[in-house]
């Protein structure tokens, strides 16, 4: 699920459905998607499945109030980076001070002015859009960096456990990439990495996402995909990359890949990556330019 800057999503944590509806109308008119959660506990469950671009939270809610919810978010490395607004009827100075001490981006008392809310949402989304690009994406290839990939994969594996649906990963490595750098130089090697990254982004499904985890190693995550289907999809990508031409002399670059599937091969990131890495090693050892599945 590569994050789209053109369609940001706001998680509205509020036990009053009328407020959720009102905020949704205000934001939806500007192309901003909204998702509602009834309290802090519900929101934390949703954050195991999604990564919104902004969280707007009430304070007075059942089960887990807004302050407790915010404290829980601050314990999570990835979640604490999500922009956060308090939107509450508790509008006294000490309430606002307490909210800002919890590292909220802003505190909006109820009742609120729709235009003010929309302006603040747009401003923070613009600012964090650039920050997210720096924090989440690999600077060279523009795919997810390792930290972001693993955060999303962790959420995906939680979904696998909950809904009992398989997901597969493709660990791929460029064949003989050191020779390319040694022969043509690192600038040329960077161009190869960027072109292959673009090919992956252009040819994967909308629900898939890809990250760079090493010099020439990438991981493609394929949600709701059993192993057999994952191998077929990976082999299609291998063929697409093998047809790319990288210079006027007709240079082609190939990849090798290993496929592992949760929960069949493992239910955690470390175990899944280890299985995919073993399959990748066998693909390399058996001649390269091929896809093998974990046994």
Q: Which residues participate in catalysis according to the annotation?
A: 216
Structure tokens at 289: 């330019």
* 118-122 CB contacts, 8 Å cutoff, 24+ apart: 118/26, 118/27, 118/30, 120/85, 121/10, 121/27, 121/32, 121/54, 121/56, 121/85, 122/30
CA distances from 294 to 36, 134, 208, 231, 237 (A): 39, 34, 20, 10, 18
Label residue 268 exposed, middle or buried (CB < 10 Å: 0-12, 13-18, 19+). Answer: middle
Are 220 and 208 in contact by the 8 Å Cβ rule? The answer is: yes
């Amino acid at each position: 699920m590569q994050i789209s800057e053109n369609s940001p999503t706001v998680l509205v944590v509020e036990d009053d459905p009328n407020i959720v509806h009102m905020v949704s109308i205000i934001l939806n008119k500007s192309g901003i998607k909204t998702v509602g959660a009834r309290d802090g506990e519900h929101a934390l469950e949703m954050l195991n499945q999604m990564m919104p671009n902004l969280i707007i939270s009430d304070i007075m809610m059942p089960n887990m109030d807004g302050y407790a919810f915010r404290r829980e978010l601050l314990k999570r490395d990835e979640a604490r980076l999500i922009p956060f607004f308090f939107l509450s009827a508790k509008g006294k100075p000490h309430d606002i001070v307490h909210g800002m001490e919890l590292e909220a981006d802003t505190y909006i008392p109820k009742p609120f002015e729709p235009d003010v809310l929309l302006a603040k949402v747009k401003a923070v989304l613009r600012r964090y859009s650039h920050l997210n690009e720096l924090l989440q994406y690999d600077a060279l290839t523009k795919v997810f960096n390792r930290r972001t990939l693993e955060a999303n994969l962790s959420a995906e594996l939680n979904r696998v456990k909950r809904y009992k649906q398989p997901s597969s990963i493709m660990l791929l490595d460029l064949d003989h990439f050191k020779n390319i750098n040694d022969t043509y130089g690192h600038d040329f090697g960077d161009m190869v990495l960027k072109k292959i990254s673009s090919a992956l982004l252009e040819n994967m499904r909308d629900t898939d996402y890809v990250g760079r985890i090493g010099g020439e190693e990438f991981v493609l995550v394929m949600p709701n995909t059993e192993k057999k289907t994952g191998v077929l999809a990976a082999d299609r990508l291998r063929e697409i990359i093998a047809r790319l031409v990288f210079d006027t002399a007709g240079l082609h670059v190939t990849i090798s890949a290993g496929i592992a599937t949760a929960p069949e091969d493992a239910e955690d990131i470390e175990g899944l990556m280890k299985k995919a890495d073993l399959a990748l090693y066998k693909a390399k050892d058996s001649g390269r330019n091929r896809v093998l599945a974990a046994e």
